[in-house]
Structure 1
Amino acid sequence: MGKKRSRETDGQGDVAMSDPAVDKKNEDDSSDDEDMDIVNVDFELFNYDSKIDFHGVKTLLRQLFDTDAQLFDLSGLSDLIVEQNTIGSTCKVDDKANDAYAFLTVLNLHEHRAKPPIAQLVEYLTERAKTNDSLAGAVPELLASGKQHVGLVLAERLLNMPAEVIPPMWSCMMDEIEAAVEDKEPYEFSHYLVVSRTYLEVASSLDQSERRQKKARDEAELQYFHPEDDEMRKHALASGTYDFTKEGESVADSKRAFQEMGIKPCGLMMLIEANKFQAAVQAIAEYVGTAT
């Protein structure tokens, strides 16, 4: 489903969708022994509203950048996102006036390069990309060139949000970008740089067994907060993870949540050529459809 790209209606265009993981009843269940409560949840996509969405977007940005969020002017970045109200969307429940449960947007790094929030972010992403060989050969040079129009894709959602809401958000944004290009707006990109998060399961420092900690490090496998990122990476020119610079030694313990293993969050960058981006969006839609 696509959200209407609204230029004359103050961003009122929206689309409602139901979460099939929540409201689908099992029609094949013939047993009457057990009563099940079914909760219907309608998720709606909205254009950004600068009077409503600032705080919700800022909160999700803080989650996206984890411990490094303190390095940026998140208020300035949030303002840029919500003021760009014909590209991207928020996902909410019940009413437009509520805070966003998820958001998706793309910012033109060339157009906004002189603005402090973007300058900070470009410098940060450049330095973080240099720490990963898979990113170092492509991302820093592209961001430093000043000639290419790179679309910075920022997306985040609450951890308990169903993945089914994500494909409509991506599809809507692609339609909006296409319409913006037709209107001669600056959304014709050479590349898209998608910023996301991953994590590794690591041994907690509370565990004093060196052998156990070493085994956990050796067996650590990359996990995804957003499962669709694993599919999107297949379409990337370059992709890789990076450590957060403000990560403390106790991160694994503070995020262990009463489990034997802690988690080590990492940043993730995926650089995708513009002519391959539509295929990447289609791929994650198909992936989410088969995975649920």
Structure 2
Amino acid sequence: MAKRAAQVSDDEGDSGSDVSLIDVSFDFLSPNPDVDYQAIKRLLGQLLGRDSEGFNLHELTELILSQPNIGSTIKTDGEESDPYALLTVLNMHIHHEHPSIKALARYCLSKASDSPALHSTLQSLFSQSEKHVGLVICERLINMPVQVIPPLYNMLKDEVRNAVAQNLPYQFSHLLFISRTYHLSLDEESQLENTLPASEARKKKGASKKRKSAAHDEANAQHVRPDDGIYSFHPEDAAIIELASHTLNYTYTAPLPETHQEGRDKNAFGLDTRGRIMLLPLTDSPAMDTGEGKDTWDVLAEKLAREYGVPQ
């Protein structure tokens, strides 16, 4: 079912004086069990990285598609085409016996063993039934702009509220996010910069000349390499982390493929992909100042729109 359409402009051109805009129309749709199975399964495999084989992706995909009124996909070629992005939420308590949810809960507890506070919190949440945890699944193709994220979260917020109003089991005390990261050593970061194509370098230079926001310029000027060398595939993680009570970056359990390891030994550039867990309480968030009439869903949606939304 179609929900809405949006346009996002992307800049093209090699200099600040030679810029063209490409308008791309995105359709926001409900997940379609008749069309979306294979594409959603691929997105889940991408999200969960090298460890994805342990999560019963077939069952997880079927579970996502069984929620007709929760979650959205993004397409560009009509309802019968493959989705390029997915955002949804699953109740980990209602589905605690589901093989994929059971595997994901065990996995999160295993990774959280490096963070006693997070491990204790998750163990407490998973071992009781009064408070429900919502597992947020958000993934998209790598060339999808971050500007599609704010409307996705706005729609999910409204869908969850409508479901709660109908006494459906979407009243959560916490949201658990699983995301993707990558690690760069100092040598790899230098190598990446040195191998950047000249056209990309000119494009970046041109883009920097046409920044419209002084705040954006200041943010770019203040950008420094993270101390741990870990970068986000999803820029919106930064907004979620600010509201989260716990954040954990972790390495995958499955080893790197031998060819990848050999390439890194030979100084050939290759991404060291990793994972991230973020736990967001829907009450008492440490960075929360909701104000009258606002809850955590509102604050998160407004924060994403403010930082990543399409300028009006």
What TM-score comes out, normalization by structure 1 length? Answer: 0.80
Task: State the partner residue of 1:7.
Answer: none
Counterparts in 2 of 1:84 and 1:290: CA distance versus 1, 3 Å: closer
Query: Whose RCO is larger (CA < 8 A, sep 6+)?
Result: 2
> Structure 2 CA distance, aligned partners of 1:255 and 1:99?
33
Q: Could you report, residue by residue, the CA deviation over 1:207-262 in whole angstroms, capped at 9, with x for unpaired residues?
A: xxxxxxxxxxx964221100110121010011111111003275865897x98653
- 1:130 deviation in Å? 1.6
1:18 maps to which of 7, 13, 27: 7
Determine if contact 1:233/1:239 at 8 Å carries over to the other structure.
yes
Counterparts in 2 of 1:162 and 1:185: CA distance versus 1, 3 Å: same
> Structure 2 CA distance, aligned partners of 1:255 and 1:184?
54
Determine if contact 2:9/2:24 at 8 Å carries over to the other structure.
no
Task: State the partner residue of 2:43.
Answer: 60
- 1:38 deviation in Å? 4.8
> Structure 2 CA distance, aligned partners of 1:165 and 1:71?
29
Counterparts in 2 of 1:251 and 1:177: CA distance versus 1, 3 Å: farther
Task: State the partner residue of 1:278.
Answer: 298
**1:152 match: secondary structure:** strand
Task: State the partner residue of 1:100.
Answer: 83
Q: Could you report, residue by residue, the CA deviation over 1:132-161 in whole angstroms, capped at 9, with x for unpaired residues?
A: 345224223222334321100011000110
Counterparts in 2 of 1:95 and 1:13: CA distance versus 1, 3 Å: closer
Task: State the partner residue of 2:229.
Answer: 221
2:24 maps to which of 24, 35, 41: 41
Task: State the partner residue of 1:239.
Answer: 247
| 1:70 counterpart = 2:53 | yes
> Structure 1 CA distance, aligned partners of 2:102 and 2:174?
18
> Structure 1 CA distance, aligned partners of 2:141 and 2:263?
16
Moved more, 73-82 or 142-151: 142-151
Counterparts in 2 of 1:194 and 1:58: CA distance versus 1, 3 Å: same
Task: State the partner residue of 1:6.
Answer: none
- 1:110 deviation in Å? 0.8
> Structure 1 CA distance, aligned partners of 2:68 and 2:26?
19
Moved more, 168-177 or 36-45: 36-45
> Structure 1 CA distance, aligned partners of 2:185 and 2:279?
27
Task: State the partner residue of 1:142.
Answer: 125
Determine if contact 1:132/1:241 at 8 Å carries over to the other structure.
no
Whichever residue aligns with residue 302 of structure 2, its letter is Q
- 1:279 deviation in Å? 1.3
Counterparts in 2 of 1:22 and 1:49: CA distance versus 1, 3 Å: farther
Unaligned runs of 5+ in 2: 189-225, 284-295
The CA RMSD measured in Å over matched residues stands at 2.9
Determine if contact 1:201/1:261 at 8 Å carries over to the other structure.
no
Counterparts in 2 of 1:232 and 1:191: CA distance versus 1, 3 Å: same
Counterparts in 2 of 1:246 and 1:51: CA distance versus 1, 3 Å: same
- 1:63 deviation in Å? 0.1
> Structure 2 CA distance, aligned partners of 1:255 and 1:70?
24
What TM-score comes out, normalization by structure 2 length? Answer: 0.75
In percent, how many aligned pairs have the same letter? 32
Determine if contact 2:10/2:23 at 8 Å carries over to the other structure.
no
2:70 maps to which of 61, 65, 87: 87
Determine if contact 1:22/1:38 at 8 Å carries over to the other structure.
yes
Q: Could you report, residue by residue, the CA deviation over 1:78-125 in whole angstroms, capped at 9, with x for unpaired residues?
A: 000011020110011121111110000000011111111211111111
> Structure 1 CA distance, aligned partners of 2:263 and 2:88?
28
- 1:49 deviation in Å? 1.1
- 1:280 deviation in Å? 2.1
Counterparts in 2 of 1:164 and 1:259: CA distance versus 1, 3 Å: farther
Determine if contact 2:132/2:172 at 8 Å carries over to the other structure.
yes
Unaligned runs of 5+ in 1: 1-11, 206-217
Determine if contact 2:150/2:309 at 8 Å carries over to the other structure.
no
Counterparts in 2 of 1:168 and 1:40: CA distance versus 1, 3 Å: same
Q: Could you report, residue by residue, the CA deviation over 1:254-281 in whole angstroms, capped at 9, with x for unpaired residues?
A: 897x986533212111111113343123
